């Protein structure tokens, strides 16, 4: 049974963010569906049967037993680096998973108000750790101070690179959305999963949002509070049901 940090669960009630996000190469999806969970790099590395590509095999944040997530919007700056890594450069298709916000209350989860892999203060547990991600100002990567301006998206952390290190594994049931940069990418991935016989559960919504894969678009959406366009994509099976 998953342990719940009730202090964090209570703190969640005062924070308006609606989800966590997690980038992964799309070739990991069959394993995620088959396992019924999002596993840590350590668990996958220790499992000789696992077929996956980690976004960060080195796990410079020092927590290979956790699943690294972002709050509300993905860490576009990290994604820009991760997709160029030699072990995944031949796999250009990526997706962004949307997780229920309650996942942050999983016992043992840690919070970093800046990029967790950057040198400096270690990620912290508990409500104080979560609330620090929404502080009026945060010392970010490179020694730059990030502040919450008057138009800053209230759902977003002060630093767009703030991270949540969630205790693994994360149940598939907590993933409620999957985001693609284009409709063509969603259609191709649906066909691939259908051929493998590992389609995502019906509760997972398919979404198209080019901005989710653009670090500048994400930064501007947070800074100016205008959000990003997110369009629901209906799979062939859902189209048939609605016709």
Cα dihedral value 214, 216, 222, 223, nearest 10: -170
**Separation between Cα atoms, residue 152 and residue 222, nearest integer Å:** 6
Q: Which structure tokens are listed for 209?
A: 């949002």
**Separation between Cα atoms, residue 180 and residue 208, nearest integer Å:** 5
Q: Bridge-partner residues for 24, per DSSP? A: 95
Tell me if 59 is assigned to a ligand binding site: yes
Q: Bridge-partner residues for 175, per DSSP? A: 99
**Separation between Cα atoms, residue 81 and residue 134, nearest integer Å:** 25
Comparing CA positions, the residue from 36, 20, 173, 176 lying closest to residue 109 is 20
If 0-12 CB within 10 Å is exposed, 13-18 middle and 19+ buried, where does residue 203 land?
A: exposed
Residues in the chain: 243
Tell me if 24 is assigned to a ligand binding site: yes
Cα dihedral value 55, 82, 148, 124, nearest 10: 40
Catalytic residue, from 19, 37, 146, 163: name it: 163
**Separation between Cα atoms, residue 4 and residue 146, nearest integer Å:** 31
Instruction: Establish whether 59 is a catalytic residue.
Output: yes
Instruction: Establish whether 163 is a catalytic residue.
Output: yes
**Separation between Cα atoms, residue 82 and residue 66, nearest integer Å:** 17
Q: Are 23 and 96 in contact (CB under 8 A)?
A: yes
Catalytic residue, from 59, 146, 148, 155: name it: 59
Annotated binding site: 22-24, 59
Query: Annotated catalytic sites, by residue?
Result: 59, 163
Annotated binding site for NAD(+): 22-24, 59
């Amino acid at each position: 049974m998953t342990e719940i940090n009730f202090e964090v669960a209570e703190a969640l009630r005062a924070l308006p963010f609606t989800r966590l996000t997690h980038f992964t190469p799309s070739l990991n999806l069959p394993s995620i569906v088959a396992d019924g969970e999002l596993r840590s790099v350590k668990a996958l590395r220790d499992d000789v049967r696992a077929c996956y590509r980690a976004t960060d095999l080195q796990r410079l944040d020092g927590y290979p037993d956790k699943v690294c997530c972002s709050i509300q919007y993905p860490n576009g700056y990290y994604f820009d680096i991760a997709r160029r890594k030699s072990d995944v450069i031949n796999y250009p298709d990526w997706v962004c998973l949307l997780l229920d916000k309650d996942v942050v209350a999983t016992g043992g989860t840690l919070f970093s108000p800046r990029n967790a892999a950057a040198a400096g203060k270690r990620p912290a547990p508990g409500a104080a750790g979560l609330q620090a991600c929404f502080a009026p100002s945060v010392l970010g990567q490179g020694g730059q101070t990030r502040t919450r301006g008057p138009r800053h998206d209230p759902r977003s952390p002060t630093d767009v690179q703030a991270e949540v290190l969630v205790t693994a594994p994360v149940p598939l049931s907590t993933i409620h959305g999957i985001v693609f940069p284009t409709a063509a990418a969603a259609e191709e991935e649906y066909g691939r999963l259908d051929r493998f016989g590992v389609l995502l559960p019906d509760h997972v919504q398919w979404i198209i949002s080019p901005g989710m894969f653009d670090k500048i678009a994400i930064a501007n959406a947070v800074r100016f509070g205008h959000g990003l366009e997110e369009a629901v994509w209906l799979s062939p099976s859902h189209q048939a049901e609605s016709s």
